[in-house]
Structure 1
Amino acid sequence: MTIPNTVAVPAPRGRSPRTWLLAAGAALLVAVAGIWQLAPAEAQQGGFSVEGTQLIDANGNPFVMRGSSHPHVWYQGEFESIGELSDLGANTIRVVLGSGHRDWGTTTPSDMAAIVAECKAQQVICILEVHDTTGYGEESGAASLDQAVDFWEDMYDVLQGEEAYVLVNIGNEPWGNQNTSGWVDATVGAVERMRDIGFEHTLVVDAPNWGQDWEQLMLDNAEQVFAADEDANTLFSVHMYQVYGTPQTVSDYFDAFAAKNLPLMVGEYGDEHQGEPVAWETIQNEAQARGIGWIAWSYSGNSGGNEHLDQVVNFDPAQLTSWGERVFNSQNGIKNTAERASVFDDGGEPTDPTTAPSDDPTTGGPTDDPTTGDPTEGDCSASIEVVSDWGSGWQGNVTVTADQGAISGWTLTWTWPGSQTVQSHWNTELTQTGNSVSAGNVGWNGAVSSGQSREVFGFTATNGGASPEVTCEAA
């Protein structure tokens, strides 16, 4: 989305003491060798990754973004919007930043650290995006992707260690509608530079054509861009406005990305744009069926004919607009579909995936047989739940139950009733030969206490959801 034509920064409204205290406590900074860093207590291991079409959080669980954009750089007096969006149910907030190439200001390292700390305090995932690249090649003064990477390089020391809470959207709508073929090399170069700098975050890349990819340049070259990422951790973002005015255009684009088995999100969308309708219900419904994340534009502060895209009036969460009602309260809106990232389940620190979960707090490991001191070996069973099904593909989650005695590991086998094929999987070692599938634990997720059930892994597959009989062999 382009910027407001006029940016009037309103006087900040009062914030609750709770919000200020959380922000102040979470934003504790220490200076090390003159570089701003978050305090050591914020350190963590691991971060977001991608598996096939799925975004996976630092605990190895699929995460589906449901959120809104906050225009921070234009309205820095509205810092409390992060907490307000969290209270409205958002699990992700896309934060608009400035690299200093446009006239709306520059986001500083200390400002960046405060934003990340506030997102963590409010238990939302941050997507941080540089907006100065908007419409490069067509918009006067727009920054290049290479210039955007210069900005991120200056932020590296602030963001290092925040991979479990932050995704880096390299540049917003980084190409207009002119000479768009240049988007490919520019995006490949930006991804490679980000990795050379040392960023281990999931990188988000926006499409050309002001984000809408109506020429399908991002779609056609997604494999090349993804291959440029040595970490295989790039997420593609399309902005859906009037180009996606019919349900079929939305479904076709989603189908095309699914066929490539690459991860896609809707980085922006509205219910109308420039006087033309947008198939917003289809975006929400299809995204829910397919496990695709979305960020609706935007919380408040639009101008220049885009005021209808405000979700609340004058940054007041008590005054939802008609668009805000659709974003937050529709059948597949935020309140009915958003789930917090699992990194916030236990005080905001991700689980170390190299350490098996502890069932017995006195031993730090699976419950021991009191007569032997060794883990018992029991029988187990398993089942497949069809989480979502979009016709050409589907997602399944697998649960293992320790029926008689605790188990320390498991191997599952099943036979597909039709022509299903596993496309991607996480938290398991899985092989498929013909219609036969075998899957085993990966160490830390092998233990299941006696009489308990545990969701152990997930996968995506083709050709319609199925729940065949699963054989479980305990280790």
Structure 2
Amino acid sequence: MKTRLSAAGAALLALLVALLAFGQPAHAAAGFTVANGTLYDANGTEFVMRGVNHAHTWYPQQTSTFPDVKALGANTVRVVLSSGDRWTRNTNADVANVISLCKANRLICVLEVHDTTGYGEQSGAITLARAVDYWLSLADVLTGQERYVIVNIGNEPYGNQGYASWATDNANAIKRLRAGGLTHTIMVDAPNWGQDWSFTMRDNAASVFAADPARNTVFSVHMYGVFDTAAEITDYLGRFRTAGLPIVVGEFGFNHSDGDPDEDTILAYSQANGIGWLGWSWSGNSGGVEYLDMATAFNPASLTTWGQRIFNGANGIRQTAREASVFGGTPPPTTTPPPAGGCTATYTIANQWQGGFQGEVRVTAGATAITGWTTRWTFANGQSVTQSWNVTLTSSGNTVTARNADYNGRLAAGASASFGFLGGWTGTNAKPEVSCTAT
């Protein structure tokens, strides 16, 4: 359904206005906030989505999905709901149960209304205004869940026709949600079946962000056949980063009827730049895209090729997901500001099990841009590195040297890149001090 059409050229001016507004932290009611293009949880800890989509509205009995995807390492699940206009309405009680399942399994819930899909092109699709009616009818179950729930107003709210009103309609929808008392972080989808080949969202995101009184909006692009080259992916996501606007890849696949997405670049670039993503989808696909199932018949012990890629592949969920700190995990360590022209590095143990662990190092440039970086540390307890990603890593005895990859060495002033690794340990797994040298 997602079709590549010739995209008209568009300027970046709209993305670069109101920069002062972008830099101000949002003040939701003890929930997620956005500042400087970054999403933070209610503890003020940066949160990067690593998860999957789940077609709950069509498979409401498949509640085992939540513990299953959590066991595979996900930190977020995007849940398909219906307003009742095209499919059976998900009731207030049902949505409350979905939220409780997310919380019980320490997952962040992104709730989305699917009835808006392809408005203007697909028969029966509803307007964003109608989706807002549904969200406001759920106010009693959403209020108080700001720490755990993100509201995705409407899935792919326009097809390839009639999308010129995307910015106005989303701005009005956000204002109505705020006036109705919803203080959650809001997510808005791109038009053109989510793929924004017309660059309508890209070039109007700044005005939509500014229309939110809470400055607490995140933008979501869906990457299928339109995004079949690394250049298209890095250019699109990079423009949001440059403008200081929050962007996530709300859906993507490894293949699609409209082309072959470059999922490796989506995963690698997102990991290097702190961009969240949610793969489509856990199970239950039909209509010719059954190959997008990650699990066969909702069975976590029967992952498909796509499921193995998402969960266990390079830059996948097991390697990169970190649980939201609101669930009581250990917060990341603090660091002192990097010196001008230099860089600092923060070492975190993202996950640990008997005899093994997953580490992450985040490199942050100082007051001026850098063209490359090298980090070093020495293990004090005989730990070893067995696998790494997003970095060139070597070991000599207990000393580890990690240099940037080709695509994540250049960092703007204050920007960050991260890499990860798997390691082994016995007895003690103390965190070492890490040095960083810029080039």
Tell whether the structures are fold-level matches, with TM greater than 0.5. Answer: yes
Q: What is the alpha-carbon distance in structure 2 between the residues aligned to residue 48 and residue 463 of structure 1?
A: 22
Give 1:178 shift. Answer: 0.4
Equivalent residue number for residue 47 of structure 2: 63
* Aligned residues of 1:416 and 1:468 also touching (Cα < 8 A): no
Which residue number in structure 2 is paired with residue 445 of structure 1?
none
Matches within 5 A, 1:42-57: 46-57=30-41
Per-residue deviation, 1:236: 0.2
8 Å CA contact 1:385–1:397 kept in 2: the answer is no
1:8-407 to 2 correspondences below 5 Å: 46-102=30-86, 104-274=87-257, 276-345=259-328, 383=336
Letter in 2 for 1:169: N
Distance 1:307 1:156 in 2: 35
Look up the match of 1:452: none
Report the Cα distance in structure 1 between the residues aligned to 2:119 and 2:185, rounded to whole angstroms. 23
Cα distance in 1, alignment partners of residues 301 and 369 from structure 2: 50
Q: Deviations over 1:186-220 (max 9, x none)?
A: 11110111101011000000000000000000000
Tell me: CA distance 1:382–1:64, structure 2 relative to 1, closer, same or farther (3 Å).
closer
> 2-side partners of 1:278 and 1:396: how far apart?
33
User: 1:244 aligns to what SS in structure 2?
Assistant: coil
Q: Tell whether the 8 Å contact from 1:50 to 1:232 is kept in structure 2 after alignment.
A: yes
| Alignment CA distance shift 1:250-1:319 (3 Å) | same
Q: Could you tell me how far 1:335 is from its partner in structure 2?
A: 0.6
Q: Deviation string for 1:378-406 (max 9, x for gaps)?
A: xxx964579xxxxxxx997699xxxxxxx
Separation (CA, whole Å) in 1 of partners of 2:77 and 2:344:
25
Runs ≥4 in structure 1, deviation > 2 angstroms? 381-386, 394-399, 415-420, 460-469
CA distance change for structure 1 residues 131 and 312 in 2, over 3 Å: closer, same or farther?
Answer: same
Partner of 2:219, secondary structure, is strand
2:374 aligned residue: none
State the secondary structure of the residue aligned to 2:139.
helix
For structure 1, the residue ranges without an aligned partner over 5 or more in a row are 3-43, 351-380, 387-393, 400-414, 421-459, 470-475
Q: What corresponds to 2:389 in structure 1?
A: none
Say how many residue pairs are matched: 334
**What per-residue deviation string (whole Å, max 9, x for no partner) do you get for residues 146-176 of structure 1?**
0000000000111101000000000000011
- CA–CA distance in structure 2, aligned partners of residues 396 and 47 of structure 1: 28
Query: Aligned equivalents of 1:312 and 1:468: distance in 2?
Result: 41
CA RMSD of aligned residues (A): 2.8
**Displacement of 1:79:** 1.3
Q: Secondary structure at the match of 1:67?
A: strand
Q: For 1:115, give the aligned amino acid.
A: V
The residue aligned with 1:24 is: none
Q: Which has the higher contact order (CA 8 A, sep 6+)?
A: 2
Residue 141 of structure 1 aligns to a residue whose secondary structure is coil
Aligned residue identity for 2:240: F
The one-letter code matched in structure 2 to 1:64 is V
For residue 42 of structure 2, give the secondary structure of its aligned residue in structure 1.
coil
After TM superposition, the score normalised by the length of structure 2 is 0.72
In structure 2, how many angstroms separate the alpha carbons of the residues matched to 1:93 and 1:232? 23
Quote the offset at 1:80 in angstroms. 1.2
Provide the secondary structure at the position in 2 that maps to 1:181: helix
**Counterpart contact for 2:294–2:305, Cα < 8 Å:** yes
- The TM-score normalised by the length of structure 1 is 0.66
In 1: Cα distance, 2:119 partner to 2:335 partner: 52
**8 Å contact 1:384–1:397 — kept in the other structure?**
no
Residues 152 and 122 of structure 1, relative CA distance in 2, 3 Å threshold: same
| Contact 1:138/1:176 (8 A) holds in 2 | yes
Task: Give unpaired runs (5+ residues) of structure 2.
Answer: 3-27, 349-364, 371-410, 418-434
Shift in Å, 1:418: 3.7
CA distance 1:464–1:257, shift in 2 (3 Å): closer
| SS of equivalent residue, structure 2 residue 61 | helix
Q: Secondary structure at the match of 1:205?
A: strand
Pair 398,309 (structure 1): closer, same or farther in 2 beyond 3 Å: closer
Question: What are the Cα deviations for residues 247-277 of structure 1, in whole angstroms up to 9, with x where unaligned?
Answer: 1110000111112110000000000110621
Rounded Cα–Cα distance in structure 1 between residues aligned with 2:228 and 2:344: 27
- Higher Rg: 1
**Equivalent position amino acid for 1:73 in 2:** T
State the identity as a percent: 49
Worse-matched range after superposition: 203-212 or 81-90: 81-90
| Contact 1:68/1:299 (<8 A) preserved | yes
Task: Give 1:45 deviation, angstroms.
Answer: 6.1
Shift of the alpha carbon at 1:52? 1.2
